[in-house]
Chains A and B, each alone.
Chain A
Amino acid sequence: MADDQKPKKWGIVIDLDRCTGCQACVTACAMENNIPTAGEDEVGYGRGLHWIRIQRYWHGEYPEITPDFTPVMCQQCGHAPCEAVCPVFASLHSEAEQINLQVYNRCIGTRYCANNCPYFSRVFNWFDYQIPSPMNSYLNPDVTVRSRGVMEKCTFCIQRINRAENQAATEGRSLRDGEVIPACAQACPSDAIIFGDLSDPHSMVSQFARQKRGYQWLAELGTESKVVYLKRGGEYGG
């Protein structure tokens, strides 16, 4: 059991060579986490509530252009800029999972955390969003439905982590690598997103993270982010 007491360091590796920009992760995340649909106009204006987004850049000169996709979610920084600035501790660090929590009930909506997030991975509930029928019957009972005026962001599907940990505890064993899969990783058709425990050197995610192609976005800011990107142009060609 001593092994279980050690806090895990959940992390994600995203292989940019494998990402096709299909947005399946965005959809899966919205379904898993009860993310409301803001509507075409609002999303166009920059008020979508997606917890994960695909950044798309173009390389080269028209017509010889290639797209460049980077899925970005909350990087669950070890030293998070969002946490220090919240006046009411709505954004705070979880010791058990080593991720940044957002306590919706405590949030008063200063939006300071969102300004201070260098990854722009926080979204705000600008209105009370009605989820149209029959979609409102699909809501995930494990995830809180957020009200107007609070921030929200990717949680690394903490409800799935908790469920798997409870399951493992019931069976009296420790978690196996690959037992927890967040919605985005599960939906990714090309397996570009790998989730696991970074503190375990044998886990798949650690092995990938140690690759030469691995980098953390904006590492120079000292955020100690837990999302490792594998640079494009590696062993799969690019």
Chain B
Amino acid sequence: MPTRQVVVFLGLSVLLLAVVVELVRRRTLRVEYSWLWIAACLTSMLLIVRYDLLVSLTALVGAVVPTSTLFFLCILYLALLCLHYSIRISRLTQQVKDLAQELAILRVAVDEAEPRSGEGAATR
């Protein structure tokens, strides 16, 4: 790989990694969501530094040019990320539903325990 390409892409990968780590540090991104991103950054760095690995990987999967292997890896990664999000969203949906039901039940209990503040003040 030409040195210019190595420098540019390595720089971009390092930048992305730094952004992800900083987001985690600021608690904007949760740790359990960050590992897929960190894995992607490290993988791309590895493949940039060791281009021969990409070439042998290309031979292994039977692709013709290393670029196709790279694109394939990218798409696979994005698909995994989407699946990961779908799983999280399913769980969140379930949790939101449970919370909403619980909230409604508790509200009935609270309303029955102490009547509306206006009426309550009058009767006390």
Q: Does B associate with A? A: no
Q: Which residues does B use to contact A, with CB under 8 Å?
A: none
Q: Which residues does A use to contact B, with CB under 8 Å?
A: none
